[in-house]
A and B are shown apart, each in its own frame.
Chain A
Amino acid sequence: MDAKDTHPEPHRERSAFALLAGVHLKQNWRRLEGVLLQSKLLSATVLLFIVGYCWLSFALFYRAMRFVGAFPGLGDLLVERMIFILFAFLFALLLISNLVISYSNLFRNRETNFLHCLPISPNAIFQWKFLESTVVASWAFLFLIAPLLVAYGLVEEVDWTFYPVTVFMVLMFVILPAIAGAWSAIGLARYMDRRFFQYTTLGLGVLALVALAFWLKPDVVTDDMLETRVMLVLDRLLKNTQFSQFAFLPSYWLASGVISWSEGATSATGFFMLVMLSYGLFWGRFTTVMAGSPLYEAASAVQSRGPVVSRWKWVQWLNRNKGNRTKAWTPRFLERFFGLLFWMPQDHRAVLVKDVRVFWRDTSQWGQSLLLFGLLAAYIVNLKNFSSKLNNPFWIHLISYMNLGACSLNLATLTTRFVFPQFSLEGKRLWIVGMAPIGLKKVIGIKYTLACLISMSITGILIFMSCHMLNMPWGQISYFTFVIAVMALTLNGLAMGLGVIYPNFKEDNPSKIVSGFGGTFCLVLSFLYIVGSIAILAIGSPWREQSVPWVVMLGWGSFMALSLGLGLIPYRIGIKRLRHMEI
């Protein structure tokens, strides 16, 4: 039934897309102004961190490429393969990142709901949100590869044209995972509810672990083979990385384009650029024109909250039976599990159960975890490349400390992302948790313990596996496992303490809490602590050639003192602040 159109003729001005872009630019500019005006220290810290990161990563990439490139006869091949592998992994991470960010931006965003009620076509809403998600999901990738490409350019001694061409290719490349991520998010929202998604992810995770276990079987490379049949050994070592040269992977097109230009094969680069451009234009156009309608369908499905699986008869039967159970009030798995900690008071266990449940049920937190675990998985897969038959003590020594560095950096990301915002989030629920007889001090203590247990388990397993892969003796395995445990205690104490000292009770979104001054400060301090600790431990390592006992003792003592100070002092200050805190 259509009424006669008596509404006044609308005034034609800017498109909805341009209006939204304008509003967001204004908002972001004011945010930036606010940060610059409010905290000069934060601005300086962030700037210093960015410059420091760029310089450090450039230096590392440059030195690594020079070193690998100097391998007689095979240097170029190895550098090339490194570029292919790196881009392939980054492509996978970009896919995950785009999927997670598109999902929350399209379906868990108040602005999107607001826009759906306005006379804006779903296509225009999608176009804006797509652009926003692409930028948010891809900036870290650009930040990561910029120093790498500069280092590669310098090592290969390319002319200036390499840099603008590379920038153009990278921009065309990031569109492709963005499109795939957006469509996957729409499909996911349309056909999966939160629980179905979680179980599927868990299932896939278990499968991935089984596959990794098979993948991680060490290759046997004897010293004799290394001396006489280098090409054969290299072939075997590189065979597991051949996937990165699959011709239909967009990362292959980007890597080939970059490498070809550096070698002066401009027509080959032109070919790969055209391949990316044609895919980008076709799918970009298709997506921005066609995604509106499925977006609305999916948004309606998400808003409806009814899980798709509940339409299946057997699920309906199961739910009906569940509802009829008289055991509805009996403790569930988590309560029973934490009930095993019989020595712990009931209120402490209740906080533990609540924290685990909230984390598990908050899919946006899960999304972030997926990214982190993706990085961890990539790291574990790469461990295979360090042959278990390495017998040069220098290399074993170097790799073991690099493993420790990688593990502790992952740990610092976890603690800053998940532990730092814990107190700020709890502040919102102060009417119940803060007013309870347990007291906030104990709540903080429980959260700290839980965070330590979880992060120690993850990084402990990781460091144990990496040491085991290097065939290190039990003494060294215990040493590194103990070090990572101390680091976990320190980094969690630092994150929890700074979280209490610099709370943000206005935000509900943990990622926004982390991006404030306290979160940035926590990340920078964690980073400095890791760099300092590894340097101290490496200098004072008992397995160095000609190690001196007093240097070993001094190194070990300094590490323990640094860890104790950085973990304990912010935590104590935070607890003291709690007494006088007004929320």
Chain B
Amino acid sequence: MIELKGLVKQFGDLIAVDGIDLVVPKGEFFAVLGPNAAGKTTTIKMMVGLIKPTHGSAVVAGYDIQQNPLKARERLAYVPDFPFLYEKLTPLEFMRFTGQLFKIDPDRVRTEGEQLAKRFHLETFLHKPIEGLSHGTRQRVAIASALLHDPEVFVIDEPMVGLDPQHARIVKDILKERSQEGMTVFLSTHQLSVAEEMADRIGIIHQGKLIAMGTSEELRRQSGQDGALEKSFLSLTTESESTANFS
């Protein structure tokens, strides 16, 4: 599970994240939406321990990421929008390397790796250098490697970037399955349809604040807008902006 308590991040005189309180229970698929520069990626960076919060704390899988970073990271997987991969390695070597970093038994790495490679249609690329793979294939390699240690919490930023519809479907299915098996998923996206389709709950971050949260139905009710989620999103973010300007 994920627990964010009064999370604040200040860059000089700019408050990028302004007191976010959030609990994502075990096995929940949580999607976070927000306009550009809303504070989504900063929140994620604090959650995975890449940056320190100015105030507040982030607890991942029961461990405070600042107090017990290694324990938390053993249970966490993070896939950024442009993940880093070793260009001269093959996907198989990269997965084996990831398995060794997470100290997984080599037999388990092999069986899990084979399964993941099959699910993500990576078998034909397993022995080819990563430098020659397309962006979509690299993205699949990164997601498959991140799932290898069977994380309790999976944080992913814009997972569908560069994926064709077929592979986007595969990624969605696997994440949903894992979530139903107990993995907590925290997904950040601009694609409202992905959030609506996948998430158990959706949070909207705007100007560093969590301005709305709930199922897509609840968000519609909060915004007073029927129909597509887009309308609710636009209504909520515009309303929040005008309130901020007024105050």
Chain A interface residues toward B at CB < 8 A: 1-5, 7, 10-14, 16, 19, 23, 26-28, 30-31, 110-111, 113-114, 116-121, 297, 299-300, 303-307, 310-311, 315-316, 319-320
CB nearest to B73 among chain A residues: A119
A selection of 6 A-B contacts at a CB cut-off of 8 Å is A1-B62, A11-B105, A19-B97, A27-B86, A117-B73, A303-B45
**B52 and A300 form a contact (CB under 8 A):** yes
Contacts of A297 in B (CB 8 A): 52
Say yes or no for B37: interface residue by CB 8 A criterion.
no
CB nearest to B57 among chain A residues: A1
Say yes or no for B49: interface residue by CB 8 A criterion.
yes
Given contact pairs A14-B100, A23-B89, A311-B12, a sample of 4 additional A-B residue pairs in the complex whose CB atoms are under 8 Å apart: A117-B76, A119-B73, A304-B9, A305-B11
Contacts of B64 in A (CB 8 A): 1-2
With A11-B104, A11-B106 in contact, is A113–B12 under 8 Å at CB?
A: no
**Tally of contacts, chain A with chain B, CB under 8 A:** 105
Say yes or no for B127: interface residue by CB 8 A criterion.
no
Say yes or no for B197: interface residue by CB 8 A criterion.
no
**B101 and A310 form a contact (CB under 8 A):** no
CB nearest to B108 among chain A residues: A11
Contact of B51 among A16, A19, A303 (CB under 8 A): A303
Once bound together, how far apart are the Cα atoms of A23 and B88, in whole Å? 9
**A13 and B100 form a contact (CB under 8 A):** yes
**B13 and A10 form a contact (CB under 8 A):** no
With A304-B11, A306-B11 in contact, is A7–B103 under 8 Å at CB?
A: no
With A10-B104, A16-B101, A319-B12 in contact, is A121–B88 under 8 Å at CB?
A: no
A-facing residues in B186-241 (Cβ within 8 Å): none
Contacts of A27 in B (CB 8 A): 86-89
Say yes or no for B48: interface residue by CB 8 A criterion.
yes
Say yes or no for B93: interface residue by CB 8 A criterion.
yes
**A11 and B11 form a contact (CB under 8 A):** no
Once bound together, how far apart are the Cα atoms of A267 and B227, in whole Å? 88
With A30-B88, A116-B50, A303-B51 in contact, is A310–B73 under 8 Å at CB?
A: no
Once bound together, how far apart are the Cα atoms of A32 and B52, in whole Å? 39
Once bound together, how far apart are the Cα atoms of A227 and B73, in whole Å? 76
CB nearest to B13 among chain A residues: A316
**B103 and A2 form a contact (CB under 8 A):** no
Say yes or no for B120: interface residue by CB 8 A criterion.
no
Say yes or no for B30: interface residue by CB 8 A criterion.
no
- One digit per residue, 1 when the CB lies within 8 angstroms of any chain A CB and 0 when it does not, for chain B 106-145 equals 1010000000000000000000010000000000000000
Shortest C-beta distance, A224 to chain B (Å), equals 65
With A7-B75, A11-B106, A26-B93 in contact, is A119–B70 under 8 Å at CB?
A: yes
- One digit per residue, 1 when the CB lies within 8 angstroms of any chain A CB and 0 when it does not, for chain B 73-108 equals 111101000011011110001000100111111101
Q: Bin chain B's interface residue count.
A: 35 or more
Contacts of B86 in A (CB 8 A): 23, 27, 111
Shortest C-beta distance, A9 to chain B (Å), equals 9
Contacts of A316 in B (CB 8 A): 12-13
**A319 and B11 form a contact (CB under 8 A):** no
Once bound together, how far apart are the Cα atoms of A121 and B71, in whole Å? 10
Shortest C-beta distance, B216 to chain A (Å), equals 30
**A30 and B51 form a contact (CB under 8 A):** no
Shortest C-beta distance, B18 to chain A (Å), equals 14
Contacts of A306 in B (CB 8 A): 10-12, 14
Shortest C-beta distance, B148 to chain A (Å), equals 12
Shortest C-beta distance, B57 to chain A (Å), equals 9
Contacts of B52 in A (CB 8 A): 297, 300, 304
Contacts of B103 in A (CB 8 A): 10-13
Contacts of B62 in A (CB 8 A): 1-4
Shortest C-beta distance, A176 to chain B (Å), equals 31
**B45 and A310 form a contact (CB under 8 A):** no
Chain B interface residues toward A at CB < 8 A: 3, 9-14, 45, 48-52, 59, 61-64, 68, 70-71, 73-76, 78, 83-84, 86-89, 93, 97, 100-106, 108, 129, 152
Contacts of A311 in B (CB 8 A): 12
**B50 and A30 form a contact (CB under 8 A):** no
Contacts of B63 in A (CB 8 A): 1-3
**A117 and B78 form a contact (CB under 8 A):** yes
With A26-B88, A27-B88, A117-B50 in contact, is A10–B74 under 8 Å at CB?
A: yes
**A114 and B84 form a contact (CB under 8 A):** yes
**A117 and B48 form a contact (CB under 8 A):** yes
Once bound together, how far apart are the Cα atoms of A19 and B51, in whole Å? 25
With A3-B62, A30-B88 in contact, is A304–B51 under 8 Å at CB?
A: yes
Contact of B97 among A23, A31, A304 (CB under 8 A): A23
Once bound together, how far apart are the Cα atoms of A116 and B62, in whole Å? 19
Residue among B88, B97, B104, B152 facing the most chain A CB atoms (10 A cut-off): B88
CB nearest to B42 among chain A residues: A304
Contacts of A299 in B (CB 8 A): 50
Once bound together, how far apart are the Cα atoms of A314 and B92, in whole Å? 54
Contacts of B3 in A (CB 8 A): 1
**B105 and A320 form a contact (CB under 8 A):** no
**B49 and A19 form a contact (CB under 8 A):** no
Residue among A3, A13, A113, A297 facing the most chain B CB atoms (10 A cut-off): A3
Contact of A19 among B9, B88, B100 (CB under 8 A): B100
Once bound together, how far apart are the Cα atoms of A2 and B75, in whole Å? 13
Shortest C-beta distance, B46 to chain A (Å), equals 9
Once bound together, how far apart are the Cα atoms of A4 and B152, in whole Å? 14
Once bound together, how far apart are the Cα atoms of A110 and B86, in whole Å? 10
Once bound together, how far apart are the Cα atoms of A383 and B102, in whole Å? 57
**B73 and A300 form a contact (CB under 8 A):** no
CB nearest to A117 among chain B residues: B78
**B51 and A300 form a contact (CB under 8 A):** yes
Once bound together, how far apart are the Cα atoms of A19 and B12, in whole Å? 38
With A10-B103, A304-B11 in contact, is A118–B73 under 8 Å at CB?
A: yes
Once bound together, how far apart are the Cα atoms of A5 and B88, in whole Å? 36
Contacts of B70 in A (CB 8 A): 119-121
**A120 and B12 form a contact (CB under 8 A):** no
Contacts of A111 in B (CB 8 A): 84, 86
Once bound together, how far apart are the Cα atoms of A11 and B10, in whole Å? 39
Shortest C-beta distance, A491 to chain B (Å), equals 32
Once bound together, how far apart are the Cα atoms of A16 and B101, in whole Å? 6
CB nearest to A28 among chain B residues: B88
Residue among B13, B14, B59, B73 facing the most chain A CB atoms (10 A cut-off): B13
Shortest C-beta distance, A291 to chain B (Å), equals 16
Contacts of B10 in A (CB 8 A): 306
Contacts of A114 in B (CB 8 A): 83-84
**B68 and A2 form a contact (CB under 8 A):** yes
Contacts of A319 in B (CB 8 A): 12-13
Contacts of B13 in A (CB 8 A): 310, 316, 319-320
With A119-B102, A310-B12 in contact, is A26–B89 under 8 Å at CB?
A: yes
Contacts of B100 in A (CB 8 A): 13-14, 19
Shortest C-beta distance, B157 to chain A (Å), equals 11
Shortest C-beta distance, B176 to chain A (Å), equals 23
Contacts of A119 in B (CB 8 A): 70, 73-74, 101-102
Contacts of A4 in B (CB 8 A): 62
Once bound together, how far apart are the Cα atoms of A27 and B14, in whole Å? 41
**B50 and A19 form a contact (CB under 8 A):** no
Once bound together, how far apart are the Cα atoms of A111 and B84, in whole Å? 6
Instruction: Please give me the 7 A-B residue pairs with the lowest Cβ-Cβ distance, nearest first.
Output: A3-B62, A310-B12, A306-B11, A10-B103, A114-B84, A27-B88, A119-B73
